[in-house]
């Protein structure tokens, strides 16, 4: 016995009346037995003028040039025609036969749609698809351009060894943890690994963990189902992990990842599955994960500010990028790279004097490659002459050129070791004298606080009322 209620012809016709598509129905001989409201609207014919009339009446009286119903009755199969109605634009009519038990046609159902409206909608859809395709192509071009424009320049031996490690890490799906100070180029190295991996044609999703509010982190990373929370998009939304499927997920500033999210990320690493907020079933994902941080993550683990098990999962292949001051042979190459880049960008033709290159080589670069890039762009934009000289440099860089000259003057009065220690002592003493805290002095010098404390003790440098916070 059927569980569905029986639908009478009268009730069916009531349903047809609220449809937006025009509809009329004839019996098996072609006599009109039903016309809905949309048919009247589309054709401007009156229902009472058509009911109980044969379909040939419309043709004989010149209302239409031909009838789909008559063709359906003749061919015994569905038919679609574009019919020119006397009182209306061209209309797309689709006739469908309904057969009885004895294989005879019991009725023919015809639906009508304004052909010009359909054509306009089709053209609009075509244009929308074309624009979407252009946008996708442009996004792909921008992604490729972004990945190709940024090069991890390696002239120093230390940096070349890093690139060799990165190239080996690119050939496997093992998780990579990149360590290094802010501005050393961790994101550039992550893109280097992605471009040289078998996943190079897949997406590269860069997530700055320090830039996403905690309350939004789970929905952004894992996605959510329709109606998962207030103001959620009705269709739901895939998370960034899903978007990285078949590609690389780069978790920058991983140390900023909230603890509750760390548990879920660990599950993704272990099982390669992700669950959207509000959903029951998991989704399979295939991503290579690269994480990066400028913090001492082992110290965070000891302080229980970062999960130990997640750290071990991330720390499969560890690559530590040294600060720029420890790979000085990269500086001249980077300077020329940025000089050419910003000359082209700003349509200039600047060149640097040897004194500037000397100052660049002797500066500690606490902001590393990012700071170097910004300094080069600043002097190219602000310098009114073709040759950039020392007077165009920021004040903090000028002292390092003078320091080099002072070292040359002192070279006749002791060993190289003694001279370097004397210069280091003077620099540290000046930094401490002009700083309120030991952290500030260390930041100006571009070294760790512990290193500065050790050197203070070595050179017996003290400052009254010094805030050691």
301: containing domain: 150-322
- Is 2 inside a domain boundary? no
Average per-residue pLDDT for the chain: 79
pLDDT score recorded for residue 84: 66
Do residues 20 and 105 share a domain?
Answer: yes
Return the CATH number at 359. Answer: 1.10.8.60
- Residue 464 pLDDT level (bands cut at 50, 70, 90): very low
Do residues 114 and 186 share a domain?
Answer: no
Do residues 369 and 456 share a domain?
Answer: no
Do residues 48 and 71 share a domain?
Answer: yes
pLDDT over 70 for what percent of the chain?
A: 78
Where does a domain end: 322, 342, 359?
A: 322
Do residues 24 and 48 share a domain?
Answer: yes
- Is 427 inside a domain boundary? yes
- Is 237 inside a domain boundary? yes
Where does a domain end: 322, 356, 379?
A: 322
> Would you say residue 51 has pLDDT above 60?
yes
- Is 168 inside a domain boundary? yes
Do residues 393 and 332 share a domain?
Answer: yes
What kind and span of H or E run contains 376?
A: helix 368-382
pLDDT score recorded for residue 439: 81
pLDDT over 90 for what percent of the chain?
A: 21
Count of structural domains, the chain: 4
The bridge status of strand 317-320 relative to strand 273-274 is unpaired
Where does a domain end: 301, 322, 343?
A: 322
The DSSP annotation for 78-116 comes to: -EEEEEE-TTSSEEEEEEEEEE-TTS-EEEEEEEEEEHH
- Is 272 inside a domain boundary? yes
The encoded tokens of residue 135 equal 């946008």
Do residues 273 and 374 share a domain?
Answer: no
- Residue 253 pLDDT level (bands cut at 50, 70, 90): very high
- Is 142 inside a domain boundary? no
Q: How many CB atoms lie within 10 A of CB 400?
A: 17
Residues in the chain: 469
pLDDT score recorded for residue 152: 76
Do residues 398 and 426 share a domain?
Answer: no
pLDDT score recorded for residue 237: 79
d(CA 443, CA 332): 23
Contact 124, 75 (CB under 8 A): no
Do residues 278 and 184 share a domain?
Answer: yes
The DSSP annotation for 384-410 comes to: -SSEE-GGGS-HHHHHHHHHHHHHHHH
d(CA 5, CA 294): 68
Return the CATH number at 315. Answer: 3.40.50.300
- Is 38 inside a domain boundary? yes
The bridge status of strand 22-27 relative to strand 105-114 is antiparallel
Do residues 262 and 298 share a domain?
Answer: yes
pLDDT score recorded for residue 148: 44
What kind and span of H or E run contains 308?
A: helix 308-314
Do residues 184 and 300 share a domain?
Answer: yes
If you average pLDDT over residues 43-50, what whole number do you get? 80
pLDDT score recorded for residue 352: 84
- Residue 323 pLDDT level (bands cut at 50, 70, 90): very high
- Is 139 inside a domain boundary? no
If you average pLDDT over residues 306-328, what whole number do you get? 92
pLDDT score recorded for residue 226: 75
pLDDT tens digits along 1-27: 444 455 555 666 677 777 778 888 888
Do residues 293 and 245 share a domain?
Answer: yes
d(CA 364, CA 375): 13
Return the CATH number at 34. Answer: 3.30.450.20
- Residue 184 pLDDT level (bands cut at 50, 70, 90): very high
> Would you say residue 432 has pLDDT above 90?
no
């Amino acid at each position: 016995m059927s569980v569905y209620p029986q639908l009478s012809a009268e009730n069916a016709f009531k349903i047809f009346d609220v449809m937006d598509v025009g509809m009329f129905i004839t019996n098996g001989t072609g006599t009109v037995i039903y016309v809905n409201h949309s048919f009247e609207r589309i054709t401007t014919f009156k229902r009472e003028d058509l009911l109980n009339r044969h379909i040939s009446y419309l043709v004989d009286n010149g209302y239409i040039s031909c009838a789909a119903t008559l063709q359906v009755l003749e061919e015994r199969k569905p038919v679609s025609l574009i019919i020119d109605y006397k009182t209306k634009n061209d209309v797309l009519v689709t006739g469908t036969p309904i057969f009885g038990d004895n294989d005879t046609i019991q009725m023919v159902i015809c639906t009508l749609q304004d052909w010009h409206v359909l054509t306009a909608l089709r053209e609009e859809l075509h244009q929308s698809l074309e624009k979407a395709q252009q946008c996708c192509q442009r996004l792909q071009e921008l992604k490729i351009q972004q990945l190709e424009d940024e090069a991890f320049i390696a002239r120093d031996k230390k940096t070349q060894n890093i690139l060799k490690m990165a190239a080996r890490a690119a050939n496997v799906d093992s998780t990579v943890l990149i360590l290094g100070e802010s501005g050393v180029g961790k994101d550039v190295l992550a893109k280097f690994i992605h471009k040289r991996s078998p996943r190079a044609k897949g997406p590269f999703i860069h997530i700055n963990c320090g830039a996403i509010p905690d309350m939004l982190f789970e929905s952004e990373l894992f996605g959510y189902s329709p109606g998962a929370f207030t103001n959620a998009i009705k269709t739901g939304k895939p998370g960034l992990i899903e978007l990285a499927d078949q590609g690389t997920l780069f978790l920058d500033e991983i140390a900023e990842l909230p603890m509750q999210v760390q548990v879920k990320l660990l599950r993704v690493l272990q099982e390669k599955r992700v669950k959207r907020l509000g959903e029951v079933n998991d989704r399979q994902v295939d991503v290579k994960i690269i994480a990066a941080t400028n913090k001492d993550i082992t110290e965070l683990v000891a302080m229980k500010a970062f999960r130990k098990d997640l750290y071990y999962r991330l720390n499969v292949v560890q690559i530590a990028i040294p600060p720029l001051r420890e790979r000085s042979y990269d500086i001249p190459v980077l300077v020329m790279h940025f000089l050419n880049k910003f000359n082209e960008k700003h349509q200039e033709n600047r060149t640097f004097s040897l004194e500037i290159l000397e100052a660049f080589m002797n500066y500690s670069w606490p902001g590393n490659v990012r700071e170097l890039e910004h300094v080069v762009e600043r002097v190219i934009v602000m310098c009114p002459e073709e040759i950039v000289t020392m007077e165009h440099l920021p004040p903090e860089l000028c002292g390092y050129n003078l320091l080099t000259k002072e070292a040359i003057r002192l070279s006749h009065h002791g060993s190289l070791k003694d001279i370097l220690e004397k210069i280091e002592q003077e620099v540290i003493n000046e930094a401490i004298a002009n700083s309120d805290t030991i952290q500030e002095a260390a930041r100006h010098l571009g070294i760790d606080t512990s290193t500065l404390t050790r050197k203070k003790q070595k050179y017996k440098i003290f400052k009254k009322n010094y805030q050691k916070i």
